[in-house]
Amino acid sequence: MARPTLKAVLLSPQRTLGDKPLLIVGPSLGTSSLVWAQAGSLLANDVDVVAWDLPGHGVSPAATEPFSVAELADAVVELVDSIAPGETFHYAGVSLGGATGLQLAIKHGDRLKSLSVQCSGAKLGTPEAWQERAETVRTQGTAVMIQGSAGRWFAPGFMDREPELSSRLLHSLRDTDRFSYAFCCGALAGFDVRAELGSITVPTQAVAGAEDSVAPPSFAQEIADGITAGGGTASAATLEGVAHLAPAEAPGHVAELLRSLIFWAESRGAAK
C-alpha cells in the first residue's frame, strides 16, 4: 500500500491563508468537491474552505495501487502542508471523507481544531460487500453504480427539487476512474476504528441524515458515545429529510452546524 496523491479545490474566495480559520472538507465515494460547493459558499465569508478529491475523482490523479483510510488521512495532512505548512485546521467529511476525518483525529489529532463527521461511521458496511462492489466496478465501470447510488445518496424528492445538482453529482460518479473507485472500496473494507474512538480528543460533531440507509443516525450516536466514553467532547445530530449527502442535500443546516462548531473551537483555543 502507498499514500495516494490528493488535489485541492478552493471553495472560498482567493485570499491570503491564515487570516481566517482553515476548514478542510472531504467527499463521499463517487463524488467530488461539488458535494461541498454550496455549504462551502455559505461559510466562505468567515472561513477559508478547501476541499479535496479522492484518488481518481474530480481533480485528483488516479491511484495505481491499494491504500488504506489511514493513508488517506496521511495524504490529507500532506495536502494541507503543501498549502499551509504545519497549520492546524478544522475538518469536515462526508461518508468516506468522514471516515478519513476519524482517522485524522486518531492519528493526527494534534493538527485538528475540530472535527465534523457526516453521514459516516466508525465502520461502514462489511468487508465482503465492499470487495464485491470493488470487483463489480473494476469489471463494469462506475456507470453501473449510478442507479443504486441515486437511491442511497438522496432522500425522496431531492432529485425532483434539485435536478441540476443531483445530475451533476451522478455525472461525477460516472466520470470517476473505475480502478480508483475500487481501491476506495478496498480501503473501506479494511476500515474499523470503533475500538479507537476513545482516543479522540478533538471537539467532534457527528451528523446523520434521518433517511440515510448507509450510515443511519445510530452510527453518529456510536461515534459520539465512543468519544465521550474516552473523556472527549462530542455530540450527535440528525437532519430530517436528508439521506447520505448532507452537505449537498442540506447545505444551510450543515453550514450552520459547522459555523457553530468552528467558532466554539476557535474561542476555546483563544481562551487557553
Selection from 20, 70, 23 nearest residue 258 by Cα = 23
The Cα 122–Cα 133 span in angstroms is: 20
Report the DSSP beta bridge partners of residue 209: 239
| Spacing of C-alpha 122 from chain mean position | 13
Contact 205, 257 (CB under 8 A): yes
The Cα 38–Cα 19 span in angstroms is: 22
Residues 6+ apart with CB under 8 A from 25: 11, 33, 36, 39, 40, 49, 50, 51, 52, 91, 92, 93, 97, 247
Helix ranges (DSSP H) in the chain: 37-43, 69-83, 96-107, 127-140, 146-153, 158-161, 163-174, 178-189, 217-229, 246-249, 251-271
pLDDT confidence of residue 270: 55
CATH code that applies to domain 8-271: 3.40.50.1820
User: Scanning the structure block, which residue is given the C-alpha cell 479507537?
Assistant: 196
- Sign of the alpha-carbon torsion through 185, 186, 189, 194: negative
pLDDT confidence of residue 18: 81
pLDDT confidence of residue 191: 98
Domain boundaries, the chain: 8-271
One digit per residue, the tens of pLDDT, for the chain of length 272 reads: 778 999 999 999 988 888 899 999 999 999 999 999 999 999 999 999 999 999 999 999 999 999 999 999 999 999 999 999 999 999 999 999 999 999 999 999 999 999 999 999 999 999 999 999 999 999 999 999 999 999 999 999 999 999 999 999 999 999 999 999 999 999 999 999 999 999 999 999 999 999 999 999 999 999 999 999 999 999 999 999 999 999 999 999 999 999 999 999 999 875 55
Contact 138, 182 (CB under 8 A): yes
Contact 98, 219 (CB under 8 A): no
Residues 6+ apart with CB under 8 A from 174: 142, 143, 146
